[in-house]
Amino acid sequence: MGKTSKDKRDIYYRLAKEEGWRARSAFKLLQINEEHDIFSGVTRAVDLCAAPGSWSQVLTKKLHENTKNIDKVKIVAVDLQVMAALPGVIQIQGDITKLSTANSIIKEFQGNKADLVVCDGAPDVTGLHDIDEYVQSQLLLAALNIATHVLKDGGVFVAKIFRGKDVTLLYSQLKQFFEFVTVSKPRSSRNSSIEAFVVCQNYKPPEGYVPNMVNPLLDHQYCDFNQFTGVNRFIVPFNACGDLSAYDSDKSYPLLLDGQTSYEYKEPVQGPINPPYKDVLEKTKNLQL
């Protein structure tokens, strides 16, 4: 590949270098803002999954446009990877699925809350679409959980989402916490990619909601469930059906049931068509095994 072939192939890659952005992703956040005005009045922001740092660069530019007082601007960037320093950006090297990371962010805000949380997190893609979508959704839920710890009421949350087949479930989960949930596909995001961005506005958690980090798989322990109370604990109605006089499926019964005087064995109505053990049975019959 020639030195300029990527520049020819990817206009945003080229523009990022020309304009001094660390990654072409900067244009995604800028284009989301053109549509949704996400930086309006924002002076405190969290950039989750921030490396190499182009979204933090955009935040630095936009937040400083909002106030002349540089002390009012606070940007906290988090990533698993080490990120080269950016003036005015506090960096935390950590995993966004961990409560300890949420706590480190809270500490940096010293009792204040963030106006905006953004997350461009992407796991290493395996190429197995179902797995990639699932892991991405776990990352999104981790980012949402962090947002519930640090975001002010009325705040904005923007995060990468894979528009896979189960995406509506994620939209409904986000809708529990935000008045407006929109999906945005910036022009700088390739059409061939299933990535898009959820733009969630007006943070309004359910009354009594206690932020937690339990949703993501990585930290999950089944015994954790019982610690939830109030609106945090959704109890699904359970219903046992069938008359009490019906047979109990866990019990053994004699071959002759009440009122019967003889028993006749009957073949199953439809046996398995091609069971995995068929081959072994054939070979056993022919004494090959």
Catalytic amino acids?
160
Is 10 annotated to bind a ligand? Reply is: no
Q: How far is the CB of 237 from ligand SAM (least distance, A)?
A: 35
Strand partners, 156: 116
Which of positions 67-96 make contact with ligand SAM (CB under 6 A)?
A: 78-81, 95-96
Q: Which 8-state DSSP code applies to residue 40?
A: T
Q: Identify the residue among 13, 64, 113, 123 touching ligand SAM (CB under 6 A).
A: 123
Q: Which of 15, 23, 90, 99 binds ligand SAM (CB under 6 A)?
A: 23
Contact yes or no for 115/42 (Cβ under 8 A): yes
Residue 12 in contact with ligand SAM, rule: CB under 6 A: no
Nearest residue to 83 (alpha-carbon basis) of 74, 73, 75, 93: 93
Q: Which is nearer to ligand SAM, 50 or 106 (CB)?
A: 50
Q: Which is nearer to ligand SAM, 99 or 154 (CB)?
A: 99
Angstrom distance (rounded) from CA 285 to CA 55: 67
| Residue closer to ligand SAM (CB basis): 10 or 95 | 95
Nearer to ligand SAM, 90 or 122 (CB): 122
Sheet order of strands, 178-184 included = 89-93, 74-79, 44-48, 114-119, 151-162, 195-203, 178-184
- Residue 219 in the binding site for ligand SAM (CB under 6 A): no
CA-to-CA distance for 71 and 249, rounded, in angstroms?
Answer: 69
Residue 52 as a binder of ligand SAM (CB under 6 A): the answer is yes
Encoded amino acid at 221, one letter: Q
Which residues in 135-146 are b (16+ Cβ under 10 Å) and which e? bbbbbbbbbbbb
Q: Are 99 and 213 in contact (CB under 8 A)?
A: yes
- Any contact of residue 162 with ligand SAM (CB under 6 A)? no
Taking the complex as a whole, the smallest distance from the CB of residue 7 to ligand SAM amounts, in Å, to 19
d(CA 288, CA 220): 48
Among the listed ranges 8-16, 19-27, 32-40, 174-182, the one in contact with ligand SAM (CB under 6 A) is 19-27
Q: Does position 149 bind ligand SAM by CB under 6 A?
A: no
Q: Which residues are annotated as a binding site for S-adenosyl-L-methionine?
A: 53, 55, 79, 95, 120
Contact residues for ligand SAM, defined by CB under 6 A: 22-23, 25-26, 49-55, 78-81, 95-97, 120-123, 139
